[in-house]
Amino acid sequence: MTERAIRIGLPLTVLAIVVALWGAVVRLNDIPPYVLPSPGLVAATLFADGPLLLHSLWVTLVTTFEGFALAAVGGIGLAVLFSQSRLVEISLYPYAVILQVTPVVAIAPLLLIYLPQPLAVLACAWIVAFFPVLANTTLGLNSVEHNLLALFELYKASRWQVLWRLKLPAALPQMLTGLRIAGGLSLIGAVVAEIAAGSAGAGSGLAYRIAESGYRLNIPRMFAALLLLSLAGIVIFFALSAVSYLVLRRWHESAIARER
Amino acid sequence: MTGQMALPSARSSQSIVSLRGVGKTFDSGTVALAGLDLDVRAGEFVSLLGPSGCGKSTALRVIAGLSDASAGKVAWPDGGKRLGFVFQEPTLMPWARVAANVALPLRLARADAAAARAAALASLGRVGLADFAGAFPRELSGGMKMRASIARALVTEPDLLLMDEPFAALDEITRFKLNNDLLTLWQQLKRTVIFVTHSVFESVYLSQRILVMSPRPGRVVAEIDIPASYPRDERFRTSAEYAGYCREVSEALGAAMAERAA
């Protein structure tokens, strides 16, 4: 068996075993669906509630992408600004850290008071996602090889040339790592905010569906929505990993297979 | 002495750069250089030889303007010169192809992309890397990376080429080959070279003149001419004449280090 087949085959086998066990436990113990639905029922619910759930998925994904885009622009922009001005960095960095270490679950209810709900959800997605972009990009911009900086200085490169031709490309690997983390986090941020907003009741995202189904003891739909959320997270992760690989594959050690 | 100087024997011409009483004290308090005097004449191949930590790299960076002298003066009698710098490591941008790396100095001077590329390809040709213009640095061997680095330093047609232990990390076979190729380039292009090394054998093989430096604080304590003719080749490397110069330079280096211990 090839390496690739093992990598895909083994996790799928584990999945099949777990699902089979789950089904068996439900059937043998006669567990009612409002406690634990069988895998078959979850699949059926996914199909039956498809239009509703897909619409909700779309709402959550739009928030996630907007949060991610803002986090990318904000994180990279702020990191570049920090690298250009030490004073700005010293003034603002502590607040970026504070924003990051304060749990978003605790901020979300406040944001929901002051902002209209869609904006509050977006703000949550942005808050959790932007810091890894900022921190990783800053690390990348600051770890340029000193001799390359000396070389640019020798040839009297402008600040702009140093940034554009040296610092940004050198920071790409770390920047992409930050973006990969941010992709998953912006989904988490969106979900957290939707759950927090759930009790206010105006949302229509997937996390809102989960909260709502919980109140109604519609457990199969909770599982179906959860499944969609996981799938969305997985797709986001792999998409960003693929982008990272495509950008780095020619030159960065992380993207090059070791020859043995 | 033995034979005629085949090439740029610019011994009589005036200095391209001269350092007078140059000192360098780092913020940490380390005195890297103190009272350093040296003159380099146009067309000359000079080595700065000394043990590690004697400030020879610092001296080169001061000449390049990458580091400011804390005392003394660096003078350019004929006016400022175009410089090329070869670092101890190849210092190539891993994300850019070899040709783009070599074209960088011209691009930074806002040269037109096509012209810069043409000059880069010509420069790569001179160091024997014409076939690797489209490769990424990681695809090259250590010696080839260093060649690319030299091609980049030469692409601006510099008056003065500064080399900071460029071959120290290479194996002996590759180093000998690059020594020979560097001498050939020097004879063809008639540039001035200041070559920093800690190898007595390398400095004797390459240079017309060796400045021996003593550590802490770094300064020039001996000056030795190597009047052997160019082109120099493997026969020179194994000659009694070469061995004689090596002994002389080793003794001067030994004396420089003993002076410090005393």
Q: Give the per-residue SS3 of B234-251.
A: HHHHCCHHHHHHHHHHHH
Return phi, psi of residue B39, to 5°.
-125, 140
B168 HSE (CA, 13 A, CB side): 18
Q: Sort out which chain B residues have CB atoms less than 8 A from A165's CB and list them.
A: 104, 107-108
Q: Where are the domains of chain A?
A: 38-255
Query: Tokens 């390459």 correspond to what residue?
Result: B206
Torsion of CA B256, B260, B261, B262, to 10 degrees: 100
Contact A151 B109 (CB under 8 A): no
Task: Quote the CA–CA distance of A40 and A24 in Å, as a whole number.
Answer: 11
Q: Are strands B71-75 and B15-25 parallel, antiparallel or unpaired?
A: antiparallel
Q: Sort out which chain B residues have CB atoms less than 8 A from A166's CB and list them.
A: 93
Beta-bridged to residue B73, according to DSSP, are B20
- For the stretch A27-63, pLDDT in tens is 898 888 888 888 888 889 888 888 888 988 998 898 8
- Nearest chain A alpha carbon to B94: A251
Query: What does the pLDDT read at residue A202?
Result: 58
How many other CB atoms sit within 10 Å of the CB of residue A209?
29
Torsion of CA A93, A99, A102, A105, to 10 degrees: -160
- Which 8-state DSSP code applies to residue B3? S
Query: Tokens 């360098």 correspond to what residue?
Result: B24
Q: Residues A228, A42: contact at Cβ < 8 Å?
A: no
Tokens of B113: 């992309």
Binned at pLDDT 50, 70 and 90, residue A194 comes out as confident
Full DSSP string of A28-57:
HHT--TTT---HHHHHHHHHHTHHHHHHHH
How many angstroms separate the Cα of A61 from the Cα of each of A55, A58, A118, A228, A232? 10, 5, 13, 11, 8
Say if residue B203 is exposed, middle or buried (CB neighbours under 10 Å; 0-12, 13-18, 19+).
buried
The C-alpha angle B60, B258, B49, rounded to 5 degrees, equals 25
Query: What does the pLDDT read at residue B4?
Result: 41
CATH number for A38-255: choose from 3.40.50.1860, 1.10.3720.10, 3.40.50.1110, 3.40.50.300: 1.10.3720.10
Contact partners, residue A91, CB within 8 Å, separation at least 6: none
- Nearest chain B alpha carbon to A249: B95
Beta-bridged to residue B164, according to DSSP, are B196
Query: What does the pLDDT read at residue A104?
Result: 82
Query: What does the pLDDT read at residue A260?
Result: 63
* ipTM score of complex: 0.88
Q: Is the predicted pLDDT of residue A248 greater than 50, yes or no?
A: yes
- For the stretch B10-31, pLDDT in tens is 444 678 999 998 999 988 888 8
How many other CB atoms sit within 10 Å of the CB of residue A31?
13
Tokens of B157: 């047609």
Q: Which of A145, A152, A170 sits opposite B108 (nearest CB)?
A: A152
CATH number for B6-81+160-262: choose from 3.40.50.10860, 3.40.50.261, 3.40.50.150, 3.40.50.300: 3.40.50.300
Torsion of CA A21, A22, A27, A31, to 10 degrees: 140
Return phi, psi of residue A245, to 5°.
-65, -45
Q: Residues B95, A148: contact at Cβ < 8 Å?
A: no
Name every residue in A having a CB less than 8 A away from some CB of B.
145, 147-148, 150-157, 161, 165-166, 169-170, 172, 250-253, 256
- For the stretch A205-229, pLDDT in tens is 888 888 888 888 888 888 898 889 9
Query: What does the pLDDT read at residue A201?
Result: 54
Q: Sort out which chain A residues have CB atoms less than 8 A from B88's CB and list them.
A: 147
How many other CB atoms sit within 10 Å of the CB of residue B229?
14
Radius of gyration of chain A (CA): 23
SS3 state at A235: helix
Q: Which of A151, A157, A256 sits opposite B85 (nearest CB)?
A: A151
Task: Quote the CA–CA distance of B262 and B248 in Å, as a whole number.
Answer: 21
Query: What does the pLDDT read at residue B8?
Result: 44
**Helix ranges restricted to H, A85-116:** 86-101, 104-114
Contact B95 A252 (CB under 8 A): yes
Residue B225, min C-alpha distance to chain A (Å)? 30
**Range in A115-129, A246-260, B83-97, B159-173 the model is least confident about:** A246-260
Query: What does the pLDDT read at residue B179?
Result: 92
Query: Tokens 């040839």 correspond to what residue?
Result: A155
Query: Tokens 């960003």 correspond to what residue?
Result: A240
How many other CB atoms sit within 10 Å of the CB of residue B67?
18
Sign of the dihedral through C-alpha A118, A119, A120, A121: positive
Query: What does the pLDDT read at residue B1?
Result: 39
Instruction: Return mean pLDDT, chain A.
Output: 87
How many angstroms separate the Cα of B3 from the Cα of each of A213, A242, A257, B6, B244? 98, 65, 55, 9, 16
**pTM recorded for the entire structure:** 0.83
One-letter identity of residue A69: A
Q: Which of A151, A155, A251 sits opposite B136 (nearest CB)?
A: A251
Distant-in-sequence contacts of B250-256, Cβ < 8 A, 24+ apart: B250/B200, B252/B212, B252/B221, B252/B222, B252/B224, B253/B49, B253/B50, B253/B51, B253/B200, B253/B212, B255/B221, B255/B222, B256/B50, B256/B212, B256/B213, B256/B214, B256/B215, B256/B221, B256/B222
- Residue ranges of chain B whose pLDDT lies below 70: 1-13, 259-262
When scoring B58, B63, B89, B91 by the number of chain A Cβ atoms within 10 A, the one with the most, hence best to mutate, is B91
Query: Tokens 């270490």 correspond to what residue?
Result: A101
